[in-house]
Chains A and B, each alone.
Chain A
Amino acid sequence: NAGVTQTPKFQVLKTGQSMTLQCAQDMNHEYMSWYRQDPGMGLRLIHYSVGAGITDQGEVPNGYNVSRSTTEDFPLRLLSAAPSQTSVYFCASSYDGKDTQYFGPGTRLTVL
C-alpha cells in the first residue's frame, strides 16, 4: 500500500495563477481532508469530505475549492493564488474522520 500520496512536492506560483494539488489514498477510506500548516498556527482544516460526492468547509476554506468524484482522490484547487496561501499543505485520510489520520508527505507551496 502506498498510503496517502501527494503531488507535487514543491510548487512556486505567481500571484493570480491557478493550480491543483493532487491527493490520492489506497486504503479505501471514506474521510479525506486538506490542512495547511503555518509556523505557530499548527494544522488548520481547509476542506473535508466524508465520501464521494460530499464535501464541506473547514476552518479556513476561502480561496480553495475541492471535489470528490471517487473514493481515492481528493484534489485541492487554488483558483487565483495569493501570497497569503504560501504554506505547507497536507492531505489526510481516515476511516471515519475521528480515528487515526493518515497524512501524505505534504506540498510546499510558495506564492510570489
Chain B
Amino acid sequence: TQLLEQSPQFLSIQEGENLTVYCNSSSVFSSLQWYRQEPGEGPVLLVTVVTGGEVKKLKRLTFQFGDARKDSSLHITAAQPGDTGLYLCAGAYNDMRFGAGTRLTVKP
C-alpha cells in the first residue's frame, strides 16, 4: 500500500480540454510537492504547497493543498501536447515519499 495514492493512473485527452488529477493520503504532510517527469529523464519539481487550503497557480496549472494537509489536486486548463508526461506527487514524511503518478497524454 502506497502512502500517497494518485488518480487516475492514466489519462488521455484532446488538446484544449481541462483535467484534474488527485493525490490522496490518510497521513498528514508538512508539505507536498508536484513533479513532472518526461521519458528518459528524472522528475522535475513544479510546485511545493505548505499551508492547508493553499492554492498556487503556475500559468495554466493550478495546485491545491487540502485543508487537513492530507491531499492535493492539480488542475490543468486548456491542456496542450507539451503537458504530456508523468505527474508525481510527493509528501514530506520522515523522508520524501512519492505516489505512483498519473500518466497524462494530450493529443493534438
Is chain B found bound to chain A in the same assembly?
Answer: yes
Q: Which residues of A line the B interface, CB within 8 A?
A: 4, 33, 35, 40-45, 48, 58-59, 90, 92, 94, 97-101, 103-106
Q: Taking each of A35, A43, A94, A104, which has the highest tally of chain B beta carbons within 10 Å of its own beta carbon?
A: A43
Residues of B near A4 (CB, < 8 A) are 42
Per the 8 Å Cβ criterion, residues 77-99 of B in contact with A are 88, 90, 92, 95-99
A15 CB → nearest B CB, Å: 26
Q: Is B11 an interface residue (CB 8 A)?
A: no
Complex-state Cα separation, A58 to B43, whole angstroms: 19
- Residues from 43 to 92 in B contacting A, C-beta threshold 8 Å: 43-45, 48, 88, 90, 92
* B27 part of interface (Cβ distance < 8 Å): no
Q: Which A residues touch B101, using CB under 8 A?
A: 42
- Report the separation of the CA atoms of residues A35 and B57 in the bound assembly, to the nearest whole angstrom: 29
Q: Are B100 and A106 in contact, with the CB atoms below 8 A?
A: no
Q: Which residues of A contact B95 (CB under 8 A)?
A: 33, 45, 48, 58, 97
In the complex the two chains form, is B9's CB within 8 Å of A106's CB? Answer: no
Contact indicator B42/A100 (Cβ below 8 Å): no
